[in-house]
Each structure stands twice: as structure tokens, then as C-alpha cells.
Amino acid sequence: MRKIKLATVLALATAMVVGLTACGGSGSTASTGSSDAAAEEETAEEGGEEAAAADASGLKITLVMSQRDEFLSSLEAGAKKKAEELGVNLITQDANQDESKQIQYVQAAAADGQKVIIVNPINPSACQSIIDAAGDMSVVFVNRVPDDVSVLTDKAVYVGSDEHTSGKFQGDFLANYFKEKGQTDIKYILLRGIEGQTSTTLRSESVLKALADNGINATETYAKSCLYDRTEALNQMTNILADASKEFDCIISNNDSMALGAIEACNTAGRTIDFPIVGIDATADGRQAIKDGTLAMSVFQDPNGQGGGSVQAAVNLANGEALNANTDFEIDEETGHILWVPFEEVTPENVEEYENR
């Protein structure tokens, strides 16, 4: 009996070790192998960028994701693609919306002696605790801008898009649309995202500001949170459409999903869409709706640009180069520590260009 017990302990331990080392080994070998290959390819193809690729190869960088929704998964894919191009050994970890876990990942990377870490922060108001946990490591925040940009320094930067401009594209579009009709007083419905999220606040604020700046007098008919959710927007819009007293000239949505819910509600209620509905994200479904003529326009947030940009920025920090070296993006003039990945307007005219981005 004792022998059996002893054997079980040893077998269990051995199994774990074999399992662990096997997956560790294969994981790192595979990535090093492919990155070497990628680096060589690049050297062969483009002589000009040879130096940057050579400097970056072998650099180990951890990317800590806040979670993996549709957009952030594309961002992760963009980061991986860029890492492969540059020969960076990029490891992604999903903190699954757990801030404690996020800090844990940062500390582990610091203990591993990594030079720089990319973090997609869960809570933009608690970025200082991430910087503290990083110790000597540089930090690249991606996608969610710290609430307090004064935490940004030479060793803590942000790569992402300026949510102040996403709504501006919507507002400018609507202003032009109504000016062409000779209308300056409009009533709007605003479908808001999840309350308390920075994106919801800034997208809503910036669209209304752009309308006002363009001399449009906009009055709110209805403005409620539909949680960025298609079904929720469908339900709320169905109720609004049933209420004849609620007049409106356009529907502004904080994202495409809710705009699509609104379109669905109009179709179900038999209401002709002879007014503009505008969204943000330019998702696959959103782009289809633009082609169908139901969604007037959307705003493209570039996940590849953000993901790839964050990896390039991390490499730049590690090599002591300018934040925007080897990118097309601009550095924020005020802070000097933000790399802006621009939003882009998507309309029926240019929607085809976004098919494979």
C-alpha cells in the first residue's frame, strides 16, 4: 500500500513537471522560431527597416488584456501580428476584468526582468497602481486612456484613439446633412453605452458639442443607456416608435450594435428610415448596414493600429527611440506621452476600404 501511495505522489509530480515544461518549452520555442523567421524575412525584403527589426528581436514583452471582447480580440491580433513582424516575443495574458490579477501579471513580468509591458487597463482611474507595480519597467497603456493623464511620463505612455473625436465625426456628419436640408433646429434620440464608462461619456459629449459648434440647435427627445447592446436598443426603440409624441430627426448611437437594434426596431414597426442613424465602430454588421443604406455612417476605431502601435511604442521605449518612431501616428502635443491612433469616418463612399481591416 505504501508503495502505491509513494508511486502516486511521484507520478503526479512527474506528470505535472512534464506537462509544465512541455508546454513552456514548446510555447517559447515555437514563438522564437517563427519570430526569427519573420525577422529574417523582413531583413531580406526591406533593407531600410533592418535596424529596427534587429534591435527588437528577442525582446520579451507581456501584453495584459483587460478582457477579450470582439474589439479587444482584434486589438490583440493586431499586436501579435506586429510583434511577429518585429521579432518580439509577445506573451498575452487575460486579466478577465480582475484588477488584482492585472497587477499580479505586471509584477510577474517585472520580476522576470522584462523591460517594458503593455497594459490594457481595466479601470482607467486606477492606472497609478499599475505604474507602481511595474517598478523599473516602462508601461504602455493601450485602448483605455488613464483618467488622469498626469500619471503619464517618459516611462508610462498611452497608445489609443481620442474618444473626444469619435463623436465629432458623427456630429460633423449630421450637421452637414441638416445644413444641406436647410434645417438648423433638430430633435435627436441618443442611445448611450454603459453608464460610467469613459467611452460612453466622451462619445455622447463630443457628438453634441460638434453639433453645437456647427450651429445646429439640437434638442433631446430621448437619451438613455442601452448598454451597448443590440437587443436592449431594439426593446427601447420599439417603445419609442410606438409613442407618436416622441418626434425625432435622427438617431445617434454610441456604437453600431445599438444602431443596428434601432434599425431592427424601425423595420419591425414598419417605419421607413428616412432620417440618418449614425454609429461608431464600423463592425462587420455595421458596414453591411451602411451598404444597405440603413446606417448613414459609422466611425472606425482601428484595432490593428492600436494593437500594433502599442507594440511599436513598447519597442521604441525599450530602445530609447521617439515614441512614434517607425509609425504614422502623431504624438499628443500637450503631454508628449500619448500616441494618437486616429478614428476614421466610414460612409457609403469608402465602406469598401474597411472590408479587410
Q: Based on the shown chain and the rule CB under 8 A, indicate whether residue 320 belongs to the binding site for another protein.
A: no
Q: Is 110 a residue that touches another protein (CB under 8 A)?
A: yes
DSSP 8-class letter at 183 = -
Q: Is 232 in the site for another protein (CB under 8 A)?
A: no
Query: Residue 24 interacts with another protein (CB under 8 A)?
Result: yes
CA gap 91, 94 in Å, rounded: 10
Q: How far is CA 231 from CA 236, 253, 294, in A?
A: 9, 14, 17
Least distance between another protein and beta carbon 305 (Å)? 23
Between CA 8 and CA 15, with CA 9 as vertex, the angle to 5 degrees is: 85
Contact call for residues 293 and 274 (beta carbons, < 8 A): no
Q: Which is nearer to another protein, 151 or 280 (CB)?
A: 151
The helix-helix angle for 230-242 and 256-269 (nearest 10°) equals 40
The correct pick among 48, 58, 60, 352 for binding another protein (CB under 8 A) is 60
Among 35, 62, 74, 161, binds another protein (CB under 8 A): 62
Q: What is the DSSP string of 231-253?
A: HHHHHHHHHHHH-TT---SEEEE
Q: Which is nearer to another protein, 194 or 284 (CB)?
A: 194
The one among 36, 45, 46, 195 contacting another protein by CB under 8 A: 195
Residues 67-96 that bind another protein (CB under 8 A): 89, 91-94, 96
Tell me the site size for another protein, rule CB under 8 A. Answer: 56
- Phi and psi at residue 96, to the nearest 5°: 55, 40
Query: Which one of the spans 9-17, 162-170, 183-191, 204-212 is the region binding another protein (CB under 8 A)?
Result: 9-17
Give the 3-state secondary structure of residue 122: coil
C-alpha grid cell, residue 303: 484595432
We find the least distance from the C-beta atom of residue 87 to another protein, in angstroms, to be 15
| 125 touches another protein (CB under 8 A) | yes
> What is the Cα–Cα distance from 262 to 238, expressed in whole angstroms?
8
Binding of residue 58 to another protein (CB under 8 A): no
Yes or no: say if 155 and 192 are a contact pair by the CB < 8 Å rule.
Answer: no
- Give how far Cα 57 sits from Cα of 36, 43, 126, 139, Å: 7, 12, 32, 19
Cell of 75: 486589438
**223 is a contact residue toward another protein (CB under 8 A):** no
Q: Does 108 bind another protein (CB under 8 A)?
A: yes
Q: Which of 47, 48, 182, 196 binds another protein (CB under 8 A)?
A: 196
Exposure string (b/e) for 199-212, b if CB count within 10 Å is 16 or more?
bbebbbebbbebbe
Question: x/- site string to another protein, residues 127 to 156, per CB under 8 A?
Answer: -xx---------------------------
Q: What residues line the site for another protein (CB under 8 A)?
A: 1-6, 8-9, 12-13, 15-17, 19-21, 23-25, 27-28, 31, 60, 62, 89, 91-94, 96-105, 107-113, 122-123, 125-126, 128-129, 194-197
